[in-house]
Amino acid sequence: MPEGKSSPQRADARNPWLFDTHELSRRPGSSHQLRRDLPVESTLGVPDVVEVEEGTTVAADLLLESVVEGVLVSGTATAATRGHCSRCLDPVSGETEVSVTELFAYPDSTTDETADEDEVSRIVDDYIDLEPLVRDALVLALPLVPLCSDDCEGLCSGCGAKWADLEPGHGHETIDPRWAALVQRLEETPGDGTADGSDR
């Protein structure tokens, strides 16, 4: 009996990532503009590098068009990103916008019958699930080498301080390791001339 099927269906209707195709006429050529903030339920991206954080929203601006085989979804999705500059490690925040185009096939369409399971998106129980489409597009578009600014000079390899914070001409004297021991001994025994082979 259909009772068992009705409860997940109703839960689905409240999921903002799902578009109910009943809102769109099946007649080819009809279209529906969808502007919706989609909640990010688990963080996307690369931890500490660049992420779209859980609890933020993705602004979707999509056109859904009826075509013979299904519904063509196209438009943009925009998400706020957070991460760290890959040169100086400062926190950076930004925005990533992606364009998406995807055909969701009707269950009984030729596309559905001739395409493999993972080859084409499908309309399931009259719903279009926008999540895999938007999520995958965003993840692929995230900048994997985020920068706080294009000309960020990064960190001094000698002391780890940010070049932007250092005095002009900042540098580190590099001492030959063979001399370093001598320098250290001279510093430890200032003006003491009585040392006699004490390094044995």
The site for Zn ion (CB under 5 A) is made up of 85, 87-88, 148, 152, 156, 158-159
**Is the Cα dihedral 7, 60, 137, 75 positive or negative?**
positive
What's the token pair of residue 141?
């578009």
Minimum distance from residue 153 beta carbon to Zn ion (Å): 8
Q: How far is the CB of 88 from Zn ion (least distance, A)?
A: 3
* Amino acid in position 75: G
CB of 168 to Zn ion, least distance (A): 13
Nearer to Zn ion by C-beta: 26 or 163?
163
Nearest CB to Zn ion, comparing residues 5 and 163: 163
125 vs 163, beta carbon nearer Zn ion: 163
Min separation Cβ 152 and Zn ion, Å: 3
If the CB atoms of residues 107 and 158 are measured against Zn ion, the closer one turns out to be: 158
Give rounded-to-5 percent helix, strand, coil for the chain: 20, 35, 45
Which stretches does DSSP call E strand in the chain?
A: 18-20, 31-39, 44-46, 50-52, 57-67, 70-84, 91-105, 121-122, 127-129
